[in-house]
Amino acid sequence: MRALIIIPTFNESRNIGVLIPWVFEVLKEKGVEAHILVVDDNSPDRTAQIVLGLKENGFSSRLFILLRKRKMGLGSAYVAGFHWGLDRGYHCLAQMDADLSHNPVYLPEMLKKTKTHSVVVGSRYVPGGFIKGWGIWRRVISRGGSLYAKGILSVPIHDLTGGYNIWTRSTLLGINPDTIRSEGYAFQIEMKYQAFKKGFRFSEFPIIFVDRTQQKSKMSKRIFIEAIYRVWQLRLTP
């Protein structure tokens, strides 16, 4: 099973140099073989240079970077990463944030679950899942967003807005990432909804999500508003 972990970045210089060695250390301890692809949107803080430095110093055969000319959004970064991985024959494609909120310790078990499931969701909202470091407002937005989307779309997935997910190759080919038009929270919702509509099998794996401590969150009012109206667009589209 060839696995690729896709990490989109924009101004993550304080985190990416910690995350990449951490991921590879966890995978090595568990005897799991996987590669990392960083999709960087021309970060002005030299995120890409840090990744290239790691590639030249110990991770040359397992670490790759896809450089984009400008900031184009989270959704398009993942779509570009999915195409990169599918074109190179990877069987499982994982997505995780660069801000250290997604603990790599869960990756080995999540990858194992792809043997029996098409999509594995790192879930904050199933028994054993939890969020550390968020205030009440962020909790309401995230939890409320998942419940809102779950109710409108009638899908049995508890964490629709989470970004720590693993997709099998057949699932991504079945969805066709090029058809996904959303960004931010809405991107995560749309991907899962399309997979659910096509009958792919889900597993929700409990994770403890930790809020970022370095640099700024990418959450914005535009992302929040898009998630609200995009859910209705998805529901009303045959």
**Mean predicted lDDT score pLDDT of the chain:** 92
Q: What is the pTM assigned to this prediction?
A: 0.92
Q: How far apart (Å, rounded) are the C-alpha atoms in residues 5 and 34? A: 7
Q: What is the pLDDT of residue 216?
A: 57
Q: What is the pLDDT of residue 233?
A: 87
Q: What percent of the chain has pLDDT over 70?
A: 94
Q: Which domains does the chain have, with CATH numbers?
A: 3-236 (3.90.550.10)
140 φ, ψ to 5°?
-65, -45
Question: What are the tens digits of pLDDT across the range 183-226?
Answer: 877 899 999 999 999 999 999 999 999 986 655 555 556 656 77
Beta-carbon contacts of 124 under 8 Å, excluding residues fewer than 6 positions away, are 130, 131, 142, 159, 162, 206, 207, 208, 209
| Average pLDDT of the residues in 21-50 | 97
- Higher-confidence residue: 164 or 140? 164
Greatest alpha-carbon pair distance for the chain in Å reads 50
